[in-house]
A and B are shown apart, each in its own frame.
Chain A
């Protein structure tokens, strides 16, 4: 099977979030980038497990500049066979999806994986857009997946429960918690990653559909009001009469 995994970088989850240039840019100073957790823990690892079961290749694709290479090497260290980087800043989800779809059209994959969302933009957009651009099925928020020959059985989240579905490859799937367990790359993986192929391709012209104009931080929380552990009547009174939430 030929598997393609979309990899995005995202700021480490402990990063301090603030903005520069009149709140128009994310302040990257001191920020450590990681592989977006959903892409790494669930999408990439499940793709690697399928390859181990049935053979084939796992390719990763990233839309981004050379600064993304360390994150791509991390994905290779975890076990991907080769990587592709479309050499352009990922302007918006549509631009990103368009680049991935163009690459996929030329290279024909059985399954394209994305993570549920990135932890910086939280859009959940790229997977569905890639599927639409390729006219393929999109399975959103898969929590487990088995593949036999070209038939996949997938558990996916739905409003109010879980649905078990069956479909044929090719398709696009977004991976949520449950799909796989995080893998820590070992020394051999890290060494091997240095020499695995990382192909840089030029982007295809495409207009961005949306742009982020400005950012802001939530207002600071006012001080915490402490209530004695013996006095839950007071807490209930505060929630009912002061906060008016119950």
Chain B
């Protein structure tokens, strides 16, 4: 040992790279690594696993067999489904979603969902089997470099090659996945590690020395932010997923009501602030509401909380909120000044930040400023919403379908939308009145997300209505998960908005490629017959007068139910901020 070097470990008062809590939750002598995996998950409070077995993870599945009474495992039909289901589970509970997959193809099938969880900050732990240690690097049967492949899309990943590493690796995985800005973690466990015997002792991880998920908020910056807010004339707040992640809904409401500031939401922030609140002005982004988009360039103070200025929100950055003083409340230091230059960065947890701000801000109201938003709403209503909701066309429009669903569920269902026009319509027309109700793939825009994600959401929240709203295209990407719904009897409601097109791409081809419809015309199977073959009831609705009954039938069903709604083929989603345009240039038609 080199005695001349100072040991950082002692200096920083941590004994190892990772610091266990010191409280042993479970201990058991002489068990297999595989059993240790299961016991570790149980110690972390895991009650649900989404997975698919195979050679390299068989020992772990064998161990699971003995704990079936303590953990529910859902056999998905494709590993991608496992990840999205775990995401759905995580998004409505803020708990860590868990997936199992075997090595090679099992693990590579997880990648889309892992990437999705990474970009949408969703806590997830994926456990993959791996070939035995001696075979690593030999192109053994079903060997892929999962750690290498998943590295760019994981918050952390680690390969376990001996049983005694298992509890520490899993403890660290859960801690990292859940804390700070959440994200996916992959733990790849070689087969020998699953088979080896060990003495098991589980302690939760409380600290990793190279990882600082939470920062103390800077008092001076809080004062500075409060002063800016107190002197603002046209302050505007955009909230994101961070509110839901930090569970800051109450604090947000209190802060908003005290300051009187108008609140808009990003796509992933939807349902964090009730849609019927006087100060709620709508949602921002490419297909967001008119007022919230253009007012971004008219406010004098922009308070962004738990959002990351995605390009779909900002449009052209050179013409985004340049006039405003920007206050960015954000937990991830790398997001500060990444896209939008901030005047005051409040680095820390959104809930803590709001708690610390509320005592510093003055009670105010902005009736005139809010009235400006209302004027925009009136214009949007006239030019877009009225046409969408009271169409003169014969065919149903997606908007009226979603609006009716919203009415019938009183804004209290969990909507799980897929990707495309219908997704934008859901975010525009579902009237969220309850929190944690919007599950969708935002950052990655993964078609095929909704059906498996809805399974995860429903399993996590059996008492709530969970409605998957999916396009005819996206449904065909993961429709095999109907098998999971059948076998596990998950009563998710599935609503397919069938426009016989890859609608969103078609819309772009119409608007920006002179109607050259290049491979967006998509045929579908008979969805009702398909559902039936999985033992799932369903019906098709194409007439306006049948819509309400169809929706009611779906909602009333005790079991899963598939409602296919035939909608207008060539409908477009407006408003729209074309790519590269400024939010000010939002088009209403």
Bound pair: A and B?
no
Residues of A within 8 A of B (CB): none
